[in-house]
Amino acid sequence: MASTETETRQSYLVFACGSSWYAVPAECAAEVVSFPELTRVPGAPGHLLGVFAHRGEVIPVVDMGVLVSGESEPTRRAVLVRLSRGTLALTASRVAGVSQVDGRLEPLGANGVHLHLRGPARSAQRDVAVIDPDGLFDHLSQGS
C-alpha cells in the first residue's frame, strides 16, 4: 500500500486559515511567528504575499486562503515550515497546537495544490487537510 493511502497517527501542528484547518508534520513545523511588513516580490503570484527576513534568512509568505480557495484571509501570523530546500511561511489565523491526526492520507484532489493536501483526516473533532510539505514546496516552486 502506498504511503499516501495509509492511516496516520503521527504528530502534526494543526492550524487554521479562515475556516479551513490544516495539519503539517510536527518535525517540519519550526515555529509560529508574527511577521512584519512584507516586501513584495515582482512577478509573484497572488498567493505569495511577500518576504521577510528572519534569523538571517529571507522567507516567502504563502497566503493559504488564496492558495487553496482563492480567498485571502488577512493575518500577520504564520507557521514556518522548514525543509532541506528552504523555509516557507504558511499564513495561520489560529493555531491549535501539536496533536495527532487520525485518518487517511489520500490526495484531496487530482491536480493543483489539492494534490498535496491529504485526507480525509480529523484532529480534535475537526476536519483537517494534511499538508505534504515537500509536494507543496514543489507545487509552489513550479507555480511561481
Q: To the nearest 10°, report the CA torsion of 133, 96, 26, 64.
A: 10
Residue from 6, 44, 94, 127 binding other proteins (CB under 8 A)? 44
Part of the chain binding other proteins (CB under 8 A), chosen from 14-22, 44-52, 98-106, 118-126: 44-52
97 vs 79: CA distance, rounded Å: 11
Interaction residues for other proteins, span 78-137 (CB under 8 A) = 85-88, 137
Q: Which of 27, 53, 97, 127 binds other proteins (CB under 8 A)?
A: 53
| Rounded Cα–Cα distance for residues 77 and 80 (Å) | 10
Residue from 52, 118, 123, 130 touching other proteins (CB under 8 A): that is: 52
Going by C-alpha positions, the residue among 56, 54, 57, 60 that lies closest to residue 41 is 60
Q: Which of 34, 43, 110, 111 binds other proteins (CB under 8 A)?
A: 43
What is the largest distance, in Å, between two alpha-carbon atoms of the chain? 45
Q: Which stretch binds other proteins (CB under 8 A): 6-14, 33-41, 102-110, 124-132?
A: 33-41
User: Measured between alpha carbons, how far is 112 from 8 in angstroms, rounded to an integer?
Assistant: 23
Q: Which is nearer to other proteins, 14 or 136 (CB)?
A: 136
> How far does Cα 15 stand from its chain's mean position?
9
**Site residues, other proteins (CB under 8 A):** 39-44, 48, 51-53, 56-60, 85-88, 137, 140-142, 144
